[in-house]
Amino acid sequence: MAQRERPLSPFMHYRWQYTNTLSILHRITGVLLSAAFFLLVYWLAAAAAGPEHYAAAAACLSSPVMQLVLAGALFSFCYHLMMGIRHLAFDLGLGFELKTARWTGWAAAAVALALTCIAWVTLHSSLGGGA
């Protein structure tokens, strides 16, 4: 039997628009946050295990590599949060007009970046003050 030409999924032939990238980033940050969840559990378990374990975990988390990972996790959280709100609005049937979908995409990404910076600066200023 001759293979009939099957319809292609939209992403196979749509031209690139930045909203595509915003959308796949939502998924990527979701996967990254799932990985970061294990760091959260590690931190909680270390706190429950006692001061020595907690100090070891804190030292591990403050290494330059882990700081980069944590900054990435923080941005992933902010991005997934803002983009998630946009997606919840989509689910309610709101914001589907091309113009609206474009500006809310930019806005969500910009707010996510701003939130990341605010949280990171707050964290590090309380680091300086608390330590």
Site membership for another protein, residue 7 (CB under 8 A): no
Q: How far is the CB of 24 from another protein (least distance, A)?
A: 11
Nearer to another protein, 88 or 110 (CB): 88
Q: How far is the CB of 31 from another protein (least distance, A)?
A: 6
Closest CA to 105 of 129, 86, 123: 86
**Residue tagged 């007009």 (tokens):** 97
Residue 71 tokens read as 């900054």
Dihedral through CA 92, CA 98, CA 104, CA 109, nearest 10? 120
Site membership for another protein, residue 68 (CB under 8 A): no
Q: How far is the CB of 62 from another protein (least distance, A)?
A: 8
For 124, the 3-state DSSP assignment is helix
Residue 121 CB neighbours (<10 A): 10
Which phi and psi angles does 94 have, rounded to 5°?
A: -100, 145
* Contact letters for another protein, residues 21-60 (x by CB under 8 A): ------x--xx-xx--xx-xx--xx-xxxxx-xxx--x--
Cβ(31)–Cβ(46) below 8 Å: no
Site membership for another protein, residue 119 (CB under 8 A): yes
**Residues in touch with another protein (CB under 8 A):** 27, 30-31, 33-34, 37-38, 40-41, 44-45, 47-51, 53-55, 58, 74, 77, 81, 84-85, 88, 91, 119, 122-124, 126-128, 130-131
